[in-house]
Amino acid sequence: MDFSSALPTFVITLREGVEAALVVGIVLACLKKAKQSYLSWWVYAAVAVGIAASGIVGVLLSQAAQALSQSQNPYAATLELFLEAIFGLVAIVMLSWMLIWMTKQARFMKTQVEGAIEQAMATNAGWGVFTLVFVAVLREGFETVLFIVAKFQQGLIPSLGSLAGLSVAAAIGALLFKWGIKINIRRFFQVMGVLLLLIVSGLVVSSLGHFDTAIATLAQSDRQSAGMCVFYEKFTKVHSCNLGGLVWNATKVLPEDKFPGLLLSALFGYTDKLYLVPAIAYIGFLISIGGIYFRSLNPPSSKRAHIAAPAKTN
């Protein structure tokens, strides 16, 4: 059994799970400090409901995709490819946004969560705490579910990776808040952020490949759609439907269906046949999103000084 496809979901769930675990830990610490520990069961209930809701969404989306793949509709295979590509693009947008947003907001997370808890306890304490934790867990869970569904053709293995990532994230949360073990969370998120950036970059390539295959399949099955393919032999001898000429062909040197190509393909979207458009999109994504991410790790000195400056007291 090939477990390489579990690695991307493990990394994503681990990162998103630790983010949710930090929120949960801060909430529990605030409740203990305020001597409101009797509200802790609302926190655990919110975690359970958030995980369950994310799982239900994933099951429904996977069943819809599976029903489409088993349909007798002549265009079912094409629609399945389009659906997988669309899920991939949505996952790219959400994961990229969360990567950048979380990096910028990480230094303020504790203050923001504490403020939200104080506000919740001042009104309807139980439901306020529940809503805060539920939204945090559901947000991270939904991003992971979208990524898994975008790779639903790989079967159950990605789900096993997500369960393993969730378990490790829970363990890290326990180490931090229950046993008080010091972990460099900032460094953890930096490393996981780089891995996530590479994983999402690979998803850009695979999503474009699904769109191209879907269009090519549609063009072959429907004469009226034949014009949807842009590249023909008059442009380049070795080409795809809409992704341009072949940039490299490493099928003999590093095939993607054999180790280590299999591992690189599952984790970083490596392909032994790379065409022009995905190559440009991959580089463009790394430069643009990667540039924003690395700049967010080191804010300008004026902002750092403002953050580090102690508040004046009267």
Residue 245 three-state SS: strand
Strand partners, 274: 248
CB neighbour class for 199 (10 Å; exposed up to 12, middle 13-18, buried from 19): buried
**Res 281: pLDDT:** 94
Let me know how long the chain is: 314
**CB of 161 closer than 8 Å to CB of 13:** yes
Specify the DSSP class assigned to residue 239. Answer: B
Within the chain, where are the H helices? 6-33, 40-69, 76-105, 109-122, 125-150, 157-177, 185-221, 261-268, 276-297, 301-308
Specify the DSSP class assigned to residue 310. Answer: P
Q: Which of 265, 220, 222, 269 is nearest to 241 (CA)?
A: 220
**CB of 130 closer than 8 Å to CB of 53:** no
Alpha carbons 107 and 299: distance in angstroms, whole number? 11
**Res 232: pLDDT:** 52
Q: How far is CA 189 from CA 12, 106, 286, in A?
A: 11, 9, 18
- Predicted TM-score (pTM) of the model is 0.78
**Res 310: pLDDT:** 41
Strand partners, 307: none
Residue 50 three-state SS: helix
Domain map (residue ranges) of the chain: 3-297
Alpha carbons 56 and 82: distance in angstroms, whole number? 22
> How many Cα atoms occupy the beta-carbon half-sphere of 160 within 13 Å?
11
User: Tokens for 5?
Assistant: 């496809």
Q: Which of 268, 250, 290 is nearest to 100 (CA)?
A: 290
Specify the DSSP class assigned to residue 275. Answer: E
> Who contacts 16 (Cβ-Cβ below 8 Å, separation ≥6)?
98, 140, 141, 143, 144, 169
**Res 34: pLDDT:** 78
> How many Cα atoms occupy the beta-carbon half-sphere of 255 within 13 Å?
4
Could you report the per-residue pLDDT of 118-169, keeping only the tens digit for each?
777 766 677 888 888 898 888 888 887 877 777 655 566 777 888 888 889 8
**Res 282: pLDDT:** 92
**CB of 245 closer than 8 Å to CB of 275:** yes
Q: What percent of the chain has pLDDT over 70?
A: 80
Low-confidence ranges of the chain (pLDDT < 70): 1-3, 68-69, 71-74, 105-109, 122-124, 151-156, 221-239, 299-314
**Res 307: pLDDT:** 43
User: Tokens for 235?
Assistant: 């442009």
